[in-house]
Amino acid sequence: MSTSHSFRLDGSLALITGGSKGLGLGIAKAMKEAGANVILSARDSAELTRTAADLDVPTAPIDLLDTAAIPAWYDALVDAHGRPDILVNSAGITRRAPAHELAIEDWNDVIALNQTAVFAVSQMFARHLIAAKAPGHIINIASLMTFAARRTTAAYTASKGAIGQLTKVLAVDWADKGILVNAIAPGFIDTDMNTALKNNPEFDAWIKVRTPLARWGDAEDIAAPAVFLASPAASFITGQVIYVDGGFTATF
């Protein structure tokens, strides 16, 4: 295969959770540009419909907090759109509070969406591929919190730490099935989730000093590595957590 084609996704079908905005949307756009057919999933049906109409792609709405509904939802998705061979687990939430004040309900929601739902969707993705004896790629969205921690992020940090290890164990479990599993750990990215932080002048200045490349990242900075990890060019990469953070974890 020529180098020019090894980074293409032509003929692939990519399912992207959290695909209506932020990193998920950026990845969806990049994968479609690289030749993939794309299915967007998110829980806000109205926002999802608007986004999908702009991209001219189908949707599979679901509130992934309802983890028990995932198997039936996934089976219906395959019946309606075909069997995905790329999965991007991008949906995520955070609830901030000092650990001693965090409501257990908030803890449970963050763990359910950021951790349990990632496993449940990945499991269904793999079951369909294994039954068909077909290869595939899973890309999980990890975080700087997979590596370290900040105050008031107990649930989020625990969930993203788990994503790092989940990525490794799924890669090992499914390597002989041809399913490659990797994670991208973004640094501080200019998305809706971080709007309050970016609008804080003191925090914004700290990020630009603390990050060697001296800026916030954007969705495109994450989208390009996602396309690479889903492409034939990454056929010998699995079980990795790749930090795309402007050098943040390289220094102190």
Angle 16-238-1 from CA coordinates, rounded to 5°: 85
Instruction: Report d(CA 239, CA 242) in Å as an integer.
Output: 10
Structure tokens at 244: 């795309």
Instruction: Report d(CA 33, CA 231) in Å as an integer.
Output: 13
Q: Using an 8 Å Cβ cutoff, are 67 and 117 in contact?
A: yes
Q: Is 156 a catalytic residue?
A: yes
Closest CA to 228 of 77, 85, 31, 78: 31
Out of 74, 107, 125, 156, which one is annotated catalytic? 156
CB atoms closer than 10 angstroms to residue 60: 22
Angle 130-40-34 from CA coordinates, rounded to 5°: 80
Active site residues: 156
